[in-house]
Structure 1
Amino acid sequence: MQIDVITDTGKLEGIREDWDRIYNEDPEAQFFLSWTWLSRHLRLYDGTWFVLAAREDGPGTPYVGLMPLRLRTRMDTKTGHFFNEINMAGNYAADYTGALCVPALAQQTMQAFARHIRNLAWTRIHLENMRMSDERLLAFLGQFPRETLALREFSRVNKADNVDNCRCFAATLPESFDAYLDNVLSTNTRQKLRRFMRKVEAGELRITHVDTGTLDRDIDMMLHFWRTRWGARKGDRLQSILRHNKVVLRTSFETGSLFMPVLWQGDRPLGALASFVDPVKREMLFYISGRDETATSIPVGLILHGHSIQLAIARGFGTYDFLRGDEPYKFAFGVTESKIRCAMIYTKDGLNVGNRLDPRTLDGVFAEVTRFHEGGKLEHAENGYRQILDTDPLHGKALYGLGQLVSDRGDHREARQLFKTLTGVAPSVAKIWFRLGFSAQALDDHAAAVEAFRRTLELDRNFNGAKFSMAKSLAELDRAEEAIDTLEALERELEAQGRSDALVVKAEALLTRLKRETRPSYIRLDPQPKSAARQLVTAI
C-alpha cells in the first residue's frame, strides 16, 4: 500500500471527494473525522498537521484510508533536549479521534499507517480518545516493535467529580418522538419532560434557535453560564477553553453543522445547548451547554435535550450522542454505552526514533534555541543547535549559531569547520567568510585567514572589520607593506565617515606599530593619534 503525506490546504482540498466517499462508506466514521469538522479544525494548527492518505495501488488511484495527525515539539526543561510527539489531529478538541478506512481494506490500511509512522521521528504517539474497533486498533498497534517501544493505556477519570471520560453514551432514536417518550424514557422522566414541554407550547417558556443575527449574543450568553458553573475548576486554562469553544461554535455555524436552541422565560435567557449535526451518519452530538444556575425550579437541561432529540427524530436521525463522560444525568435519556481508548506509544530510551528531530519542526526548534543563546543559556543552546544539525547537517542558521557559540568560548577549531561547511551552503554571505577568517586567524593560520577576508571583501567592499583583520594577518605573514597599504586605505575611509570608535583606535595603533617596525626613519608628527585628537576636539 502507498502512503502519501498531505501537509498543505491546497492538496487537502484536492482529496475532498475521496474524503467524503470514504466517510460515507466507513461504518466506524464519526463526526470528528468528517470533512466538515476536520478541514476547518486543521487550519488552527497550520504547519503542524498532516494527513496520511493510503492508496491500494500507485499514483492516481483512489484513496482507501485517511489518518489525520498533528506534530508537536516539546523540550526537556532540565536538559534543553528537544523531542517530537505525534497526536491525533483532534486531540484535546474532539471527543472522538481515529482514522477513516474503506471497510474491506481497513486492517491492511491501519497496518500501512503504522509502518509509515514507526519510521518517522518521534518520542511519543498520543492515541487520545480513539473510537475504533479492536480489529483496527490491534492491526495498528501490532506494527510497533516491542524491543524498542512500549505501550501504556490510560484511564480518564476526572478526580473532581469521578466522571470517567472513556465511557460514552448515546440514545438510539426511534421513528417518532412519542415512541421515544413512551418506550425509551422512564415514567418519571417522561412525565416531567412532557409537563415542561407543554409550558413551551403554551408560551410560558419559549425556545429560539441561533441564527446569524443572534450568534454572538447566544454563544456569549451560553459561555457566560458555563463559566459561572465550571470556571473555578478550570483554573488557568479557563480563558483558552472559552476562546477555543467560541471558535469551534462559530466555525460549526458557518459550516451548517451547529444546532443551538436557547430556552427563555420571557426576556430572560435560562440556558442554551450546542450540538453538532451529522446528516451523513444521521446523528446529533451534544457538545456543550450552559444554564442559569439560579433557575432551580426549571429543568433547563432536560427541556433543551428533549427539544433537540425531538428535532433529531423529525430529521430522520438515528442517534443522539452525549459524547464522553458518565455524568449521571445522561442515564435518564435511555442511553447505551460504548468506550473509547486513551493510550501512548513511546520509545523506551526517551529519545526520538532514529535520534533525530522531525525536519518539519526545525524552524520552531531553531527559534527556541536562538532565545536560549540570546538569554545566555549556552548549554541548552548548544544542545539545540547540535540536535538540529544531527537532523540536517546543512542547516545554515544552526551552523552559524553553533559556530558563533563555540568561537566565543575559544573552540576555534570546531568553529572553523562549521563556518567552512557554511560557506558551501551560503557562499555569497560576507559575514560567514569573515567568521571563517576570524577562526583561522585565531588558529594562527594567517594565509587561510587572509584568503577568507579577501572573499569577504569581494562580497562586501565596505566590510571594515574584514580590512582590519586582513591587515593583522598580513602583518603576521611578514607582509607588512601590504598591511600598511590596507590600513592606510581603511584609515582614509574611516576618517571620511567621521568615525572615532574602537576600530579607528585599533587601526591607527597597528598602523603606527607597523611603520615604526618597517621604516626606522618614521616619526609621527602629531603627538597623539588622530582619533584621540578628534575626541578631544569634540569634548572641547
Structure 2
Amino acid sequence: MIREEELRQGPQSAQWLEVGAVGSASTLAGMRAEWDALLDASEAGPFNAWEWLYPWCRRIATDRRPLVLTARDRSGALVGLMPLCVEYRSVAGVPVRRLSFLGETHVGSDYLDVVAKRGQEKDVARHFARMLYALRDEWDVLDLTDLREGSPTVDVLREVFPSGDVRVAERYVCPYDTLDPKEPFDAFLKRTGRRDNFLRRRKWLEKQEGYRIERTEAPGELAAPLTDFFRLHSARWASDGGSQGIKGTGVEAFHRDATQLLAERGRLRMYMMKVGGRAVASVYGILHRRSFIYFQSGYDPEWRNRSVGLVLVGETFRDALASGMTEYDFLRGTETYKSDWVTKQRQTVSVRVHGESWAGRWFTRSEELAREVRNGAKAVMPDTLVEKVRRFRRRRAAVH
C-alpha cells in the first residue's frame, strides 16, 4: 500500500488518507454497500454506481483487471474511489499497459469520475493522482474518458503530472434542462418546440383501442419490458445499419444485470407505450438523486408517422415533473429532437496522461496516424459513400 510520504510532493492535502487498491472482481463484488453509501454522499454521476460498473466488469470487460483505488480516513471509512481497470494492448508489436475507467466502452457511460465524499473531491483526487504518479513506471497510458467538463480530477492531474504528459480533449455535448416540480406540465409544454405536435399526436393515440403507458420499476417485473425494449431499439436502428448504443448479446446481458440492480436501489424506470396490446415505443430511464436520465429508447418503425417516440418522451417529462425531479438529462448527442425539449448543454472531456515509459507516447502517436489515414480517406470519398461505409461497419459490428 502506497502512503502519502511515498508520493510526489505537491500542495498539501486537507487530511490524511490511506490509499489502497482493489484488484479482483470477487473483492469488487463485496463492495456494494459501502460504494452505494459513498455515491449517495457524493456529487458523482449516475454511471459511477456499483450497480453499473460491476456488471460491466462481468459482462463487457472480462479481459481487463479491475484496479479500483480507494481512499479511507483514519477511522477506516471509505471517502473516495477511483474506478479503474488495466488493459493490455499490443500496438505494432509493442505491449502497452493502459489504465482507464471502468464502464468506458460499449454502454454509453457519461460523467465518469472519481467518487468522493461531497466537498472532498479535489483532495481525494489529489491523493489518487499522487499514487498514480508514484507508480508511473507500472503503466504506460492513463485514459480517462467522459468526465464532466470542470471536473476537479482534470485540474489535479494537470497539477501533479508534468504539463507535457497531460492532454485534455472535448468529447460529447450533453443536452439537459432544469425542471421546476411546481410548474404544471402544460406550462412546461408551452416552453418547448414540441407542444402542438405532442398534443395532437397524443390525442389521436388516446383514441386507439388499448392505448396505455406502462411504467415498470420493480426488480421482479423487468423481464418482459426489457425484451420489448431490445426489440424496439433494434427495430428503430435497423435501417441505419444497427444500433451503436446497444449491440451484441454481451451488452444486452449487461443491461439485464444493470437494470435489475438499479431497480433494487429504486433507480430505474422503464416506460412502454402499448396500442392494442402491442408495445410500440419504449424509454429506458435512470433516476439519480433528483435527475431523470434519458438513457435509451426505441420504437416500432411502422408507427413512426404517428410520432409514438415523441409522445412517450413527452410522457417521461410529465412523470419527471410529477415525481419532483429538478433535472432532465438526455446525455450525449445533439439530435434535433433533444433541443426541441431542452435548452441547456454540458460538455464531457477526455484526459490522457503518459506514464514514464515511451510506450504510452508510441500508443498516442499510432492512434494519431490511424486517425489521419481515416480522415484522409473520408476527404476523398463522396458523402453518400462515407455513409454507406458507416452502415456497413455497423452491420459487421452487430454480427460480430
TM-score tier (shorter):
0.7 to 0.9
> In structure 1, what is the equivalent of residue 46 of structure 2?
31
> In structure 2, what is the equivalent of residue 480 of structure 1?
none
Structure whose alpha-carbon radius of gyration is higher: 1
Question: Unpaired runs of 5+ in structure 2?
Answer: 1-16, 362-400
The 2-side partners of 1:310 and 1:332 are apart by 15
Check the 8 A contact 1:189/1:332 in 2, yes or no.
Answer: yes
1:220–1:33 distance in 2 versus 1, CA, 3 Å? closer
The 2-side partners of 1:189 and 1:6 are apart by 48
Check the 8 A contact 1:185/1:332 in 2, yes or no.
Answer: no
Check the 8 A contact 1:98/1:132 in 2, yes or no.
Answer: no
The 2-side partners of 1:53 and 1:103 are apart by 16
> In structure 1, what is the equivalent of residue 6 of structure 2?
none
Check the 8 A contact 1:249/1:258 in 2, yes or no.
Answer: no
> In structure 2, what is the equivalent of residue 277 of structure 1?
287
> In structure 1, what is the equivalent of residue 160 of structure 2?
143
Is residue 2:135 matched to residue 1:130?
A: no
Higher relative CO (Cα under 8 Å, sequence separation at least 6) belongs to 2
What is the root-mean-square deviation in Å for CA atoms of aligned residues?
2.8
> In structure 2, what is the equivalent of residue 88 of structure 1?
101
The 2-side partners of 1:229 and 1:259 are apart by 27
Seq. identity, %: 22
- CA shift, 1:329, in A, is 1.1
> In structure 2, what is the equivalent of residue 55 of structure 1?
72
1:229–1:287 distance in 2 versus 1, CA, 3 Å? farther
> In structure 1, what is the equivalent of residue 179 of structure 2?
173
1:11–1:347 distance in 2 versus 1, CA, 3 Å? closer
- CA shift, 1:187, in A, is 6.2
The 2-side partners of 1:346 and 1:181 are apart by 52
Segment of structure 1 superposing worse, 184-193 or 126-135:
184-193
Is residue 2:340 matched to residue 1:332?
A: yes
Is residue 2:213 matched to residue 1:207?
A: yes
The residue type equivalent to 2:150 in the other structure is S
The 2-side partners of 1:285 and 1:179 are apart by 20
The 1-side partners of 2:185 and 2:215 are apart by 23
The 1-side partners of 2:238 and 2:338 are apart by 21
Check the 8 A contact 1:170/1:322 in 2, yes or no.
Answer: yes
Check the 8 A contact 2:180/2:326 in 1, yes or no.
Answer: yes
1:282–1:56 distance in 2 versus 1, CA, 3 Å? same
The residue type equivalent to 2:295 in the other structure is Y
Offset from partner CA, 1:506-538 (integer Å, 9 cap, x none): xxxxxxxxxxxxxxxxxxxxxxxxxxxxxxxxx
Query: What SS class does the counterpart of residue 272 from structure 2 fall into?
Result: strand
The 2-side partners of 1:244 and 1:272 are apart by 21
- CA shift, 1:17, in A, is 3.9
1:69 aligns with one of 72, 84, 107: 84
The 2-side partners of 1:10 and 1:213 are apart by 26
Is residue 2:227 matched to residue 1:222?
A: no
Q: 1 or 2, which has the higher strand percentage?
A: 2
The number of residue pairs the alignment matches comes to 330
Summarize the alignment of residues 429-440 of structure 1 with structure 2, pairs less than 5 Å apart: none
The 1-side partners of 2:205 and 2:212 are apart by 5
Question: Unpaired runs of 5+ in structure 1?
Answer: 157-165, 354-540
Is residue 2:338 matched to residue 1:321?
A: no
Is residue 2:63 matched to residue 1:41?
A: no
Check the 8 A contact 2:354/2:360 in 1, yes or no.
Answer: no
The residue type equivalent to 1:300 in the other structure is V
The residue type equivalent to 1:197 in the other structure is R
- CA shift, 1:54, in A, is 0.8
Check the 8 A contact 1:2/1:55 in 2, yes or no.
Answer: yes
1:260 aligns with one of 248, 265, 270: 270
> In structure 2, what is the equivalent of residue 190 of structure 1?
195
> In structure 1, what is the equivalent of residue 372 of structure 2?
none
The residue type equivalent to 1:20 in the other structure is D
Task: Give the alignment's TM-score, normalised by structure 1.
Answer: 0.56
1:179–1:233 distance in 2 versus 1, CA, 3 Å? closer
Task: Give the alignment's TM-score, normalised by structure 2.
Answer: 0.73
- CA shift, 1:276, in A, is 1.8
1:268–1:352 distance in 2 versus 1, CA, 3 Å? closer
The residue type equivalent to 1:8 in the other structure is S
- CA shift, 1:351, in A, is 2.3
